[in-house]
Structure 1
């Protein structure tokens, strides 16, 4: 069993992460800096699902590892414009 952990945005990612996942974390953080998103107090949460790392940011961004392809998939939350059917 592997235990998860939390770390602050801009902090050092756990060394147990595959390189491609650590790179994806860095990519997300660079995008947040480039778009002037205030991330004070934001943290990443690492959990292990069936032996594979799943990393989630406080804003809902999720990074999943695909060991067969040695790739990481970044899924960001969608924030759309309200339409006429949305309730107040």
Structure 2
């Protein structure tokens, strides 16, 4: 069993975040607008589905591994912010 975790965008991802996801997560964070005064930074949530890691930012951006083990960035179409 693998447990998920949460961390704030811009912080060092926890050790539980697989190395294959880290470059894509960093790219997403670089493309995310800076701090908005009075607003909290978005947070990432790492979960596992059928043994595959999925990192989702509060904004609806999802970073996951495809069948070839490559990181893919997509947007949750059901997210209210997307």
Distance 1:12-1:50 versus aligned 2 partners, 3 A rule: same
Q: CA deviation at 1:24?
A: 0.6
Partner of 2:13: 13
TM-score w.r.t. length of structure 2: 0.77
The more displaced of 39-48 and 20-29 is: 39-48
* The structure with more radius of gyration: 1
Partner of 1:73: 72
Distance 1:41-1:49 versus aligned 2 partners, 3 A rule: same
CA distance in 1, matches of 2:13, 2:31: 17
Misfit runs of 4+, over 6 Å:
none
Partner of 1:54: 54
Partner of 1:85: none
> Whose helix proportion is higher, 1 or 2?
1
Give the RMSD, CA atoms, in angstroms. Answer: 2.3
Q: Give the number of aligned pairs.
A: 77
Name stretches of at least 5 consecutive residues in structure 2 with no aligned partner. Answer: none
The more displaced of 68-77 and 52-61 is: 68-77
